Amino acid sequence: MFTAALNPDLAGQTIVYCLHQSIGHLGIFVSGKVASREHREFARAMDLIDIAPPGLYEAVIEGLDENLANLDLVSGGYLFQVQRRAASGLKDFEELLNETAQKAPMGELIDIMDVGYTCPYLATDFARRVTRGTLYVDGGANIVA
């Protein structure tokens, strides 16, 4: 498992996901009508997402309530909020990490530095015969999956 996926701020990435409020699925798995609303609101919020610091965020899209403070500042028919989330907030997060590490062929998780160390190798003559394909930097997890 790639630990930067669990801590995107360590990798300098900004990841934004959206859950359907009543179903719980990611926004892309819901009906076309709901998905088009979410896509439209994501497109409107790209400037906001672009300036968000690296990390994991949940996009919360809600219909407007007439009691909402500063309602005149909201354009469109929905309020789009980006709320910071942390993988460490998942139930039994440490246990999940430990179990994953135990199942890994090398007995540990990889991190962003493992990927970083692979890049200089690819720039050397040692990699001159490496052509097209997927280079897995996962400690062997792809061969046991």
Mean pLDDT, each 10-residue run in order, the chain (145 residues): 52 74 50 66 84 83 79 76 77 78 83 81 86 78 69
Question: Which pLDDT value is given to residue 2?
Answer: 45
Question: Which pLDDT value is given to residue 29?
Answer: 44
Question: Which pLDDT value is given to residue 16?
Answer: 81
Task: Output the six-digit token pair for 40.
Answer: 């439209």
Residues 112, 10: Cα–Cα separation, whole Å: 8
Question: Which pLDDT value is given to residue 145?
Answer: 56
Residues 63, 71: Cα–Cα separation, whole Å: 11
DSSP 77: S
Question: Which pLDDT value is given to residue 76?
Answer: 73
DSSP 53: P
Task: Output the six-digit token pair for 143.
Answer: 């061969």
Q: Which domains does the chain have, with CATH numbers?
A: 3-89 (no CATH), 93-144 (1.10.8.400)
| Phi-psi domain of 52 (left: phi exceeds 0; alpha: psi -120 through 50; beta: other) | beta
Question: Which pLDDT value is given to residue 122?
Answer: 83
Contact (CB, 8 A) for 110 and 2:
yes
Question: Which pLDDT value is given to residue 28?
Answer: 44
